[in-house]
């Protein structure tokens, strides 16, 4: 059994480039983001990877990244399951604001707390803890069973929704997960044991 799970954060979006809090807003990919998605698909194909099913969020940037990857891998016909449980963290009142402008409005310390604490949400938004509470049950009920059955699964989503899954796979604490960076367009692969723990990480060129 392969039990392969690959997670990939969407390619760079227009709002990533502009340093804006994005959350559930739906900007498209930049030229760099498109290139990252194409490169990810080519790298996985070159490594001989293939997938039986793909999951993505309700947001265009993750879906577009997935479509490009599957096109590069000649896997356009596999089932794609979309669900808002995999959406990015909701930044509430910060959404659409430039991060530097937010610091000027609320102060460096407060914005840092909202961004890098585990359980302090921004006004009207979600903390990482809230995002974990939304994403992790979906992973456990919908994604993980397929991997454990031996299906090869690709997930195209977002920095914080993927952190929620990585937190379990890599056994992070609420403190260490905050330091785990998720680069845009960079696949992370895992082969799982039958008990759902990680047997090995899989390098993607």
Give the catalytic positions in this structure.
Answer: 10, 88
Per DSSP, the residues of 43-78 read HHHHTT---SEEEE-SSHHHHHHHHHHHHHTT-TTS
Collapse the DSSP code of 99 into the 3-class scheme (helix H, G, I; strand E, B; otherwise coil) and give the result. Answer: helix
Cα–Cα distances in angstroms (integers) from residue 147 to residues 89, 92, 143, 157, 160, in the given order: 24, 33, 7, 17, 21
Phi and psi dihedrals of 82, rounded to 5? -110, 135
On whether the CB atoms of residues 69 and 37 are closer than 8 A, the answer is yes
Enclosing H/E stretch for 37? helix 31-46
- Who contacts 13 (Cβ-Cβ below 8 Å, separation ≥6)? 22, 27, 28, 29, 30, 33, 61, 184
């Amino acid at each position: 059994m392969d039990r392969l799970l690959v997670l990939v954060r969407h390619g760079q979006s227009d709002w990533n480039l502009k340093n804006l809090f994005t959350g559930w807003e739906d900007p498209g990919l930049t030229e760099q983001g498109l290139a990252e998605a194409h490169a990810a698909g080519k790298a996985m194909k070159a490594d001989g990877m293939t997938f039986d099913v793909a999951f993505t969020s309700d947001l265009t940037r993750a879906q577009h990244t997935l479509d490009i990857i599957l096109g590069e891998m000649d896997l356009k016909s596999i089932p794609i399951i979309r669900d808002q449980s995999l959406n990015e963290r909701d930044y509430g009142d910060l959404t659409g604001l430039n991060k530097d402008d937010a610091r000027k409005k609320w102060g460096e310390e407060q914005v840092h707390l909202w961004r890098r604490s585990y359980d302090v949400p921004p006004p009207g938004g979600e903390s990482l803890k809230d995002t974990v509470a939304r994403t992790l049950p979906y992973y456990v009920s919908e994604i993980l069973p397929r991997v454990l059955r031996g299906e090869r699964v690709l997930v195209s989503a977002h920095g914080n929704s993927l952190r929620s899954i990585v937190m379990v796979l890599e056994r992070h604490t609420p403190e260490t997960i905050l330091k785990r960076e998720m680069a845009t367009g960079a696949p992370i692969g895992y082969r799982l044991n039958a008990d759902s723990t990680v047997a090995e990480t899989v390098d993607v060129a």
